[in-house]
Amino acid sequence: MAVRSPLVLVATLLAVPLLATAEPATAPAKLTALSRVEISAEIAAKITEVKVRDGDRFARGDLLARFDCTELRAELDSAEARRDMARRQLESNTELRDLGGNISTLELLQSQAQLAEAGAKAKVLQHRAGHCEVRAPFDGFVIRREVQPHQRVEIGMPLFELLDNRGLEVEAIVPSAWLDQLAPGDTFRVRIEETGAQYSATLLRIVPAVDPVTRTVRVIGSIRERDALLVAGMSGEAFFRIEHATEAKAVAGVNDSEARRQ
């Protein structure tokens, strides 16, 4: 009678090298402006003219608003007159001393101090008078206008919020595990939801701080293409080429041996 032996399984481990596959990895992204500033009043005065409204485009140096500086300019004229008088007094006292006149060193020092004080006051008023007109610090747009003509404002009161939309940056939030595969100069793609288009971008900076809760970091790049439709605040996705390594696997081979009757 023939006897069949039990089925024998032989497992053979085959070494499989690690494979690196580069696949597009996505991260949330948004567009940010290079400059977004709030312009505040540098003097306390009444506004006589406001030249721009929300959404208006302006160029660097354009007049945005003008103040009534009648009193300020009168104070400046008075201070400059006192400065000029103090200068003439000092020159007279100096000339008198050089001619051997009866003037003490203390009187000469007092004349010098009076000129310095008058000159300092005139400089302060000149500086304040320089803020009687508010001019644009760069090319951009008005995001918000806070004041109206004939309104009186105090020092530090907000006047305008301005945005420089010419140079946009894209900010993405990526996992900190990607840091060893990202470097300034790398290229990536950005898809903007509002336009539905994709744009090429260059990585500029990696913010060296990891969020301890989300384990993410901020990376900042610049979009290469110029598109008038792009504005700060738009959002979308950034696509990076991130390599993922595959794990080694064991491959089992089965050897089915059957004992035959001798």
pLDDT tens, N- to C-terminus, the chain (262 residues): 444 444 443 333 344 444 445 567 999 999 998 888 999 999 999 999 999 999 999 999 999 999 999 999 999 999 999 999 999 998 888 888 888 777 888 888 898 999 999 999 999 999 999 999 999 998 889 999 999 999 999 999 999 999 987 778 999 999 999 999 999 999 999 999 999 999 999 999 999 999 999 999 999 999 887 777 888 889 999 999 988 644 443 333 334 444 344 4
Residue with tokens 């023939």: 2
Using alpha carbons, select from 236, 239, 206, 209 the residue that is nearest to residue 220.
206
Is residue 134 in some structural domain? no
Q: Residues of 20-36 as b/e, b for ≥16 C-beta within 10 angstroms?
A: eeeeebebebbbebeee
Eight-class DSSP state of 177: G
Which domain CATH number covers 182? 2.40.30.170
171 and 238 inside one domain: yes
Is residue 260 in some structural domain? no
Is residue 75 in some structural domain? yes
Is residue 138 in some structural domain? no
Residue-level pLDDT at 239: 96
Side chain identity at residue 209, one-letter code: A
Angle at 209 between CA 204 and CA 210, to 5 degrees: 115
First to last CA, the chain: 11
Residue-level pLDDT at 248: 40
25 and 80 inside one domain: no
The total number of structural domains that make up the chain? 2
Run of H or E residues at 109: helix 105-129
Is residue 55 in some structural domain? no
Is residue 88 in some structural domain? yes
Using alpha carbons, select from 123, 139, 153 the residue that is nearest to residue 43.
153
Is residue 205 in some structural domain? yes
28 and 76 inside one domain: no
Domain boundaries, position 236: 20-36+165-245
pTM of the model: 0.66
Residue-level pLDDT at 23: 62
Is residue 154 in some structural domain? no
